[in-house]
A and B are shown apart, each in its own frame.
Chain A
C-alpha cells in the first residue's frame, strides 16, 4: 500500500468511526454502539498482538495476560476507591501508570525467558506463563476469586468519570486509532523493518549486525503495554472483571481475530475482530450450542484461508 492509499484508508476509518454513533442514535440502536465499543477495544488488543504475531512472527498464547492485567488494575483500584475510600486508586492517570509499569515488567520477564526459545517451545511456554496470572486471579478471594467482581467505581480523569456509552465509544475509537497509528509508524521504522526481517531470515539480520532477540523483546514489551491499556478500557466498558479475561482461550480468540483479518496488515485486526464477534453474536442467537459454529468456522479458516480476509482482497504473496 502506498502513502496515498494509506491516508485515504485513515480518512475513511475516522469518518466511519465518527458516523457510527450518529447512526446508532438515529435508529435508536444504542446496543449497537455498545457492541461497536467492544469490537474496537478487542480490535485494539488484536492490533497490539499483530505487532508481534503478524510482523514479528511470534505466536504468543499469553496476550490475554496483559489485557487482563490492565483490567484487574482498574478492578482492584475501583474496589479500594469504593470500599476503602482511597480516591487516588481510581484515578485514571495513576491506573494507567500502574498498567504501564506492570505490563512492561510482566512482558519483560516473560519475554526474556520465552524468547530464548523458538517455534513450538515459545508457543507452549507462553501458554504456560499465561496460566500464572490466571491462577493468581482465581486465588484472589478479596477480589472475587473465580467469580470475578463488578466494578462500582470507574476510572476518573480529573473528576470526570470514564463511563456512559458515548464516552466509552469515543475513548475506544480514539485508542484504537492511536494503536493502529503507533503500529503503523513502528513497522515503517528501522526497528520495525528489523523485526520483520528477523521473521523472514534471522541469519541475515544477525549478519547485518542486529540482535534479533533484543528487537523481539522490545516489540514484545510494547505489544504487552498496548494490550494492558486495552484492558483498562475493557474493564471500564464491561464494569466487570473476572479471571476469564486472563484465560488462555481469550488469547486464542485474539490470535483468531488477527488471522481472520490478515497477518501483518494494519487494519486487519479490526475486520477480524468484527467478523468473529458478529459471528459469535449471530450464532449464539441461533443455538445454545453456538461454539460448534465458531469452531467449524475457525477450522475452515485454518484449512482454506490462512491469509484471512486480506487473502480474499489481494493475491499478493506474503514473504516469510
Chain B
C-alpha cells in the first residue's frame, strides 16, 4: 500500500468515525425511549431534521452558527417534550401498532410543517471562517476542521452521557427503568416525569446531531427518514436500551457504511472485473450494514449488549 492510499484510508476512517458519532447522537436517546418506555418512535428522524432546519435558519438569520446550534438543541428538546406530553405519552400502554401509526403521522406532519416554513428547496449553512478550514493531522493528511470538531464534540457528549447514566441519580433511575419499569414505579418514582425527561433528552441529542450535520449535508425535507432506519439498525445491533451498545454499534455501522461506499467497488472489481463492480458496487455497499445486521441477529438475536431484563 502506497503512502497516498494509506492516507486516503485514514481519512475515510475519520469520516466513518464522524458518521458513526452522528448516528450515536441520534440513537442514544432513541434506544432509551425504546428500551425504557417500550415505545417505537419513528419520529426521531424528524427531530433530527428539525434540528438541522432550525440551526440553518438561525445561522443564516443571525450569522452566528454557535448560537444556532444552541437554539436548535433547545428548540428540539422543547418540541420533543411537548409532543411527548401532549400526544405520545398516551401511547405507552398501547400496542406497538398504535405507536407506529401515531409517530408515522408525526413524520408526515413535521415534513410538511418544515416545507411550509422553509420551502422544499432545503437550506444550507455557511460555516464561520474559523471552522471552515482544514488542518494537517499528519504530514500529508489534511482534514476539514469542522468534521474534526464534530468528532471531538460528539465524543465529549458521549462521555457526558456516560457520566449522566452511570454516576447520577437520574441516570440510576433511567437504568432501573430500563431493566424493570414496574418496580421503579412501585418504588414511588414519578415515572411520567422521568419519561418526559428521557424523551426530551433524546430529542435534544437528535437536534444536536441535525444542527451539526447541517453544514455537512445541508438541511432538506425527508433527511430524517434514512437516518431513522440506520438508527434502528444501530439499536438492533447494539441491543435495545443499551447506550453502550448504541455507541459501539453506531461506530461499527458508521465505519462499515463509509468504508463500504469508498472501497466496495474496487474490492469487487478485483474479484469479478470492473464492469460487474460498477453496476453492483454502489448498491452492495449500501446494503452491507443490513447484511451485518442480519448476521448479528442470526448469531445473537437480542443484540450485542442487552440492557432489558424482561
Task: List chain A positions with a Cβ less than 8 A from chain B.
Answer: 53, 59, 61, 113-114, 116-117, 119-121, 123-125, 127-129, 131-132, 135-136, 138-142, 248-249, 252, 255-256, 259, 263, 289, 291-292, 294-299, 301-303, 306, 320
Q: Tell me if B108 and A301 are in contact (CB < 8 A).
A: no
Q: Give 11 new A-B contacts, CB below 8 A, not counting A120-B34, A124-B236.
A: A121-B236, A121-B240, A123-B100, A127-B232, A138-B283, A263-B97, A295-B112, A298-B102, A301-B101, A302-B99, A303-B87
| In contact, B105 and A302 (Cβ under 8 angstroms) | yes
User: With A139-B283, A289-B112 as given contacts, are A124 and B105 in contact (CB-CB < 8 Å)?
Assistant: no
CA of A152 to CA of B297, assembled, Å = 42
Tell me, in angstroms, the Cα distance from A135 to B279 when the chains sit together: 13
Taking CB as reference atom, which chain A residue is nearest B291?
A: A132
Instruction: From known contacts A116-B301, A124-B232, A127-B232, infer whether A135 and B286 are also in contact, taking CB-CB under 8 Å.
Output: yes
The one of B87, B96, B287 in contact with A299, judged by C-beta atoms closer than 8 angstroms, is: B87
Chain B residues with CB below 8 A from A302, complex form: 91, 98-99, 101-102, 105
**Which of A123, A135, A142 meets B96, CB within 8 Å?**
A123
A131 pairs with B283, CB closer than 8 A: no
- When distances are taken between beta carbons in the complex, the residues of chain A under 8 Å from B116 are 289
Q: How far is the CA of A303 from the CA of B97 in the complex (A)?
A: 11
Contact A141 B279 (CB under 8 A): yes
Instruction: Tell me whether A125 and B96 are in contact (CB under 8 A).
Output: no
Most A CB contacts (10 A, CB to CB) among B91, B98, B101, B229 go to B101
The answer to whether A255 touches B100, judged by C-beta atoms less than 8 angstroms apart, is: yes
Please state if B282 and A139 are interface contacts (CB–CB under 8 Å). yes
* Cβ-defined contact, A128 with B104, below 8 A: no
When the two chains form their complex, are residues B229 and A306 in contact, meaning their CB atoms are under 8 A apart? no
Query: Contacts of A61 on B, CB cut-off 8 Å?
Result: 100
Q: Is A289 in contact with B96, judged by CB distance below 8 angstroms?
A: no
List, in ascending order, chain B residues with CB within 8 A of A132's CB: 287, 290
If the complex has contacts A59-B96, A302-B91, A303-B102, are A123 and B40 also in contact, measured as CB distance less than 8 A? Answer: yes
Q: How far is the CB of A66 from the nearest CB of chain B, in Å?
A: 17
Chain A neighbourhood of B40, CB < 8 A: 120, 123-124
Task: Please give the distance in Å from B240's CB to the nearest CB on chain A.
Answer: 6
Q: Take A59-B96, A128-B236, A138-B283 as given contacts and tell me if A113 and B297 are in contact as well, using a CB distance cutoff of 8 Å.
A: yes
Which A residues are CB-close (under 8 A) to B169? none
Q: Are A299 and B100 in contact (CB under 8 A)?
A: no
A120 touches B102 (CB 8 A): no
For residue B170, CB closer than 8 A to chain A, the reply is no
B31-51 to A contact mask, C-beta < 8 Å, 1/0 = 000100010100000000000
Answer whether A120 and B38 are a contact pair too, CB < 8 Å, given A299-B87, A299-B106. yes
Interface pairs A-B: 3 shortest CB-CB: A139-B283, A295-B108, A299-B105
Contact with A252, one of B104, B111, B297 (Cβ below 8 angstroms) = B104
CA A177 – CA B35 in complex, angstroms?
42
Do A139 and B286 contact each other (CB < 8 Å), given the known contacts A127-B232, A255-B97?
Answer: yes
Select from chain A the residue with minimum beta-carbon distance to B111.
A291
A119 to B298, CA, bound (A): 17
15 contacts between A and B (CB under 8 A): A59-B100, A113-B297, A113-B298, A128-B236, A128-B290, A132-B287, A252-B100, A255-B100, A289-B115, A295-B109, A298-B105, A299-B106, A303-B87, A306-B97, A306-B98
